Structures are given as structure tokens and as C-alpha cells.
Amino acid sequence: MSISINDAKHLIESAWLLVAVPFLVGFLIILGLHKSKPLSMMISIGAVGYGFIHALLIMLSLAQHSDLGPWQVNYDWFTATNLRLCMGYLVDNLAAMMLVVVTAISLVVQIYTHGYMKDDPGYSKFYAYLSLFTASMLGLVVSTNLFETYFFWELVGVCSYFLIGFWWQKESAAQACLKAFIVNRIGDFGFLLGIIMFLSITRTLWCESPILAYVSNSGRDLGSIIIQAYNAHMLTAPMLSVIALLIFLGPMAKSAQAPLHVWLPDAMEGPTPISALIHAATMVAAGIYLVARAYPLWLTPDGSLHSLGLTVIAWVGGFTAFMAATIALSQFDIKRVLAWSTVSQLGYMFVGLGCGAFSGGLFHLFNHAFFKAMLFLCSGAVIHGLHGEQDIRKMGGLFKSMPITAICFLIGTLSISGCPGLSGFFSKDEIISASIEHNLPLGILMIVTAAMTSFYMFRLFFLTFVGEFRGHGHPHESPLSMTGPLMALAIPSIFSGYLGVNLPALIQGRADTSFFPSFIHFGSTPIFEEPNLSVMAYSTIAAILGFVLAFMIYKAKSLSFNTAIVESKNTLVQIAYKFSLNKWYFDELYLTILQKFILPVYKKLWETVDVLIVDSMVNLSGLIALGLGEIMRYFQNGRAQFYAFIIFFGVVALTTYAYYFVIMP
């Protein structure tokens, strides 16, 4: 499809509508349109459908006319001497890719929602929240600076709070949304502190340009300002590392990286469409996007990849990927297995960015969005067909009664496991290759995690869709409004990986131009990595081993092997199993720290500072005011002769003072 230069400019200039339209729709539904369920659904889906078409055309426009990007418009939010905070919109290749991901996933999720939530009394309100969340996420994507990003970052957090706790009548849902909100506030505090520190150091360098801008034609963006501050001895490498790590707390919390990961699995208490929208493709990807967008912050001041910031990002991602995979091995809630899988895959993306595989990490974000959203929606179809059942021990044999759901789930399982030819294979292997080149132990950890990913995903597939049905009732396939989005997502889950590889060149064992790395890259020119066939072989063997082990245990022996592990008398087996089942005891650790240390310290501070000091000062000021009032009331008795006496006494006193201290000397 060819787009003229004038049409391309018009599409990019009107990108602000991508944010404005869903915001408007969300408020319209809340203000009155919620009274009509069909109208609420149609305008919400229509808004995000328009957004998807617009975003796709923007991406095609930038691909055909590379000289158009980056395009940005800024409007003053607050101005003062050497301080210009702006709000606006930025459209470049990175933003265009994320716009397509967010709008595509939002579109299929909103269509799916009609079938999943049609009997829910909060149907219209749910669509309002979906629209507001989508608008907030799109606003974050097109933000032109860190200040604006933080603004929409918080809006995304608030909308996720509403969506996770949508079924607030359930105690578990109410606690889950509160937990997500608190944990994300910890990360957001670090994010804000890092922004303030960076701004305080570099404020004088921005002049009249927009503060904290990502790109600039005047040479005042994050990357150039860091270099200027470093050359002027205003910023040192350790100072930049501290700022980068503080800001990284935001992505750690939002993208559920250890140790701020504990909120994501509990967030599965929300309706399944939210699990797919927030926790598979959009909200959790915000942290990855921020790291990529503000990438110069995590480099050395002179722009080198060998920085403390990137090293921390890589190892946090690697540890999180491994930890979450070990936890997913033992879970029996179908949505929680996928939630821990999401945590693990997000870790892969951070490893890619931390190891310098900028395009590889973002390519995995792009591919993961489609197959993970499909897997979550498949789980929702299973739960819908089993009338609310989520325990995979009470499933089995669903392939016969839910063939469309089962086939789509199998495609997603193969893709996330790194099956050659499917989307996950290409992006995951690029990350593993970069990690091996960057740090061999980290690369080995990623290969081991790939094997575990294959194992727990096929374990989930076999226990859910293969064998005999172990539950109650009569399973049934979901309506077309739910299976249609699954089939639509299955297409990119298979083929999106080919956007990042030139197949003829790959067969010949050489690197050559392909769409994704030439479209999304850091720096002025794309970097094409040589295909590492040995790494592909190792990761494929690891995935095959995971599949074979899962097949032997859960296809051939059903649940007997798991029962043997649970009832094992071996101490090491029991410790390992309970460690996995109890999620490495992070929740217990945090509760212990909170109850044994933080709350007692808080109580002591309250008793000392608030009760002893603040209250005493307030009480003392009150007593002083009371005493003065008691004294002064004797001077307000309404008797004229008393007032005359006071005046006479005052005149005498002033005369005496003047005589002895003014006249006599």
C-alpha cells in the first residue's frame, strides 16, 4: 500500500487524535452513555478500531517516508526562568510500533469483552475503563519528554487499579488492586526522584527548550544534554548511574521485575480481558518502552553500552526470567501460570535491552504482545466454557469440546516456547545470542529458562486440553465474539517473527536488511547481527527437552508424577517444590519486614515525632493562646472609667519613659 507524502504528513500531524478519541469516549460513557450497553460497546470498539487503522497507517507512512520522523509538537504546560515543562506528542518509528501494538491488542480485547462480559451488570462501566486505559497508554507512548511520560504513567496506574479491582465485591480482587497500586507507588517514587535529580543537575543546560525532551532539533535532548553536562563537569558517571537506577525503579514495578514483581500474579483477580490487555501487552510493556525511549540515561556519559545501568537491567531481567519460570512450574491456576510466564518474558526483554540488543528486546515485546494476549484470551474462553473453573487439575480433554481455543492455545504455546518458524523463535534467540556474547553465565541462564518455559507451557497445555476431562459440568466452545479474536491473534503469533528476519539471508547464514531492525534501532544506523546458528541450535534443543519432559510426565502419566512430587519424602524435593509453589516466599518476606520492622519503626516515629513533639507544640500554643485570652478578657469589661484609667496609665508610662530615657540623657 503506497501512501503519498502529503497523506503521510496529515496522518502524523493528526496523531493526537489517537489519544483524544478514546479519552472522549471513556468520559462520554461515564457521563451518560452507560445507560445503553450497545452504544457503549460500539463507540468504545469504534474508537480503538479507528486508532488501530490510524496507527497502522502511521507505521506504513514512516516506513515509506523515513525523512518524516521524528515529528513532535509541544505545548507549554508551565514556564519560568530556565524552566519550560511541555505536553505534546511525538511520532517516530519507536512510537509508531508501540501505537500499533497497543491499539491492535486493545481492539481484539474489546471485541472479546462483549462475549465475556455481556451479562455483567458493570458492562458499560467496564468499556469506559477500557477506553480510558487505552487512551492513557497511548498518551504515554506519544509523550515528548520524561515529565509528560510520568503524567501518563500515573494515569495508566490509576486505570489499572480500577480494572484489577473491577469485581471489588471479591475480597481477593480488592486486595489485588490495592497491592498493585502500592507496589507501583514504590517504583514510581524512585522514578520521580530520579527525574528531579536529573533535572536539578541539568536545568541550566535546557535554556528555553522543552525540559527532559527525548528528541530535539536544537541539540537539547536527553542524550546531548548528558554529554554536555558531563563535559562541563556537572555530571559524573556515578551520578548518572544513580539517576538511571532510580528511574529504573519505575519500569521495575510497572513491568513486574524482581523484587517489585509481586503484584502481577495477584492482578489476575480482574476479569480475563484485563489480564490480556494490561498484563500481557500494554501496561507491563510500558517499562520496556520507557527504557528504550530514554535509552541514553542507561548508557555511560560518553554513550558506551558498557555501563552499570545496562548491567543492572540485564541481570535484573535475567534473574526475574529464571525466578518466574521456576514458579510457573508448580502453579495450578491457568491464569497465574500465564501471569508468571509474562513476568519471565518481560525479563527476557530487559535482558535484550541490557545486553545492547535494542532491536531484539523490542522485537520480543512486539511478538510477545500477540501470542501472550491470545493465550490469556484462550484461558478466558476455557474459564467461560467451564463456568468459572480456573484449576487445571479439574480440566483435561478440552480439545474435543473446545477445538478452536485448543488450537490457538497450542499455537501460542509453540511460539512462546521458541518453536522454529514461529514468532517467538526469532526474537527470543536474538536475545539469547546477545546475552551469551555479553555475559556467558547470563546467556546460559537464559537457555535454562527457555527449557523451563517450554516445560511449564506444555504442562499447562497437556493438563488443560489433553487426556480425560477431570472436572464437572459440560464444557463448551465460546461464542464467535470470543473465538474470533483468538483466530485473529493466531496469525501474527505465527508470522510476526518474519518481520525481523530476512529468510533467504538467514538460510545462507548471513545478516541482511529486514524490516523490524531497520525500522526500530538505537542510533543513526541500524545494526544487523550475524545469525548465531549454534545459539539457535542450543535454544531449540532446550525447548525440545522441555517439551519431551512435559510430554512424558503429563501426557503419559497425567497427574501421578505431580502427586509423587507433592507426597515425596525427600527433603530436597519438598524444599524445592514448596519454594516454587510459595513463589520464593517473597510475599511472606515482605509481610515479615512490614510487620517486624517497618510498622514498629513507623509506630515509634509516630509516638516520638507526632505525639511527643508535634502534639506538644500544638497543645503548648493552645495553652499560650488560652492564657493570653484569660488575661486579655479582663481588659474588655465594657466600663468607660476602666478604659480611661488604662489610657491615663499609658500616657504616664510613655511620659516617664520619654523623660528618663530620651530627654535626660
Nearest to 378 by CA among 107, 108, 52: 108
With helix as H, strand as E and coil as C, how does 476-514 read? Answer: CCCCHHHHHHHHHHHHHHHHHHHHHCCHHHHHCCCCCCC
CB atoms within 10 A of CB 663: 7
Q: Enter the DSSP assignment of 84.
A: E
List, as one string, the DSSP characters of 290-307.
HHHHTGGGGS-TT--S--
CB 331 within 8 A of CB 271: no
Between CA 147 and CA 57 the distance in angstroms is 28
333 strand-pairing partners = 391
Task: Give per-residue pLDDT as tens, 278-299.
Answer: 766 678 889 999 999 999 999 9
- Residue 506: the pLDDT is 58
pTM of the prediction?
Answer: 0.88
List the single range of 2-6, 78-82, 314-318 with lowest mean pLDDT: 78-82
pLDDT in tens, 34-50: 888 889 999 999 999 99
The three grid cell numbers given for residue 62, joined into one nine-digit string: 514512516
Q: Report the DSSP beta bridge partners of residue 86.
A: 76
Q: Are 15 and 54 in contact (CB under 8 A)?
A: yes
User: Does residue 526 have a cis peptide bond before it, meaning omega lies within 30 degrees of 0?
Assistant: no
Q: What percent of the chain has pLDDT over 90?
A: 37
612 CB contacts (<8 Å, ≥6 apart)?
A: none
* DSSP notation for 528-579: -PPP-HHHHHHHHHHHHHHHHHHIIIIITSTTHHHHHHHT---HHHHHHHHH
CA distance 495 to 499: 8
Residue 573 C-alpha cell reads as 524435593
**What pLDDT shows up at residue 449?**
94
Helix (H, G, I), strand (E, B) or coil at 472: coil
pLDDT tens digit string along 362-399? 999 999 999 998 999 999 889 888 888 888 888 888 89
Q: pLDDT of 311-353, one tens digit each?
A: 999 999 999 999 999 999 988 889 889 989 999 999 999 999 9
pLDDT tens-place string over residues 463-495: 999 888 887 878 888 888 888 889 999 999 998
Sequence letter at residue 463: L
Grid cell 493528526 in the structure block, residue: 14
Give residues with Cβ within 8 angstroms of 397, minimum separation 6. Answer: 465, 466, 467, 468, 469, 470
Q: What is the pLDDT of residues 197-254, one digit of tens each?
A: 999 998 888 887 888 889 887 778 898 999 999 998 898 999 999 999 999 999 999 9
- pLDDT for position 563: 59
Looking at residue 333, the DSSP 8-state letter turns out to be: B
Whether residue 16 contacts residue 54, with contact meaning beta carbons closer than 8 Å, is answered with no
pLDDT of residue 281: 60
Band of pLDDT at residue 569, cut at 50, 70 and 90 = low
Cα separation, 115 vs 271, in Å, equals: 12
Per-residue pLDDT averaged across 187-198, rounded?
94
Contact, 352 vs 325, CB < 8 A?
Answer: no
Per the listing, cell 468459572 goes with: 388
Residues 62, 69 contacting (CB under 8 angstroms):
yes
pLDDT, residue 516, reads 82
Over residues 291-310, mean pLDDT: 90
Tell me which of 157-166, 416-425, 568-577 is least confident.
568-577
DSSP 8-state code for residue 357 = -
Contact 465, 385 (CB under 8 A): no
Contact between 86 and 72 (Cβ < 8 Å): no
Rounded to an integer, what distance in angstroms lies between the CA atom of residue 12 and that of residue 91? 7
Cell 471479591 belongs to: 170
CA gap 552, 462 in Å, rounded: 10
Most confident among 440-444, 584-588, 636-640 (mean pLDDT): 440-444
In sequence order, what are the residues at sequence separation of 6 or more whose Cβ sits closer than 8 angstroms to the Cβ of residue 578? none
Interhelix angle for 123-141 vs 37-64, to 10°?
20
* Amino acid letter, residue 566: V
Question: Out of 257-266, 272-281, 445-454, 536-545, which region has the weakest mean confidence (pLDDT)?
Answer: 272-281
Q: Region 166-194: what's the mean pLDDT?
A: 88
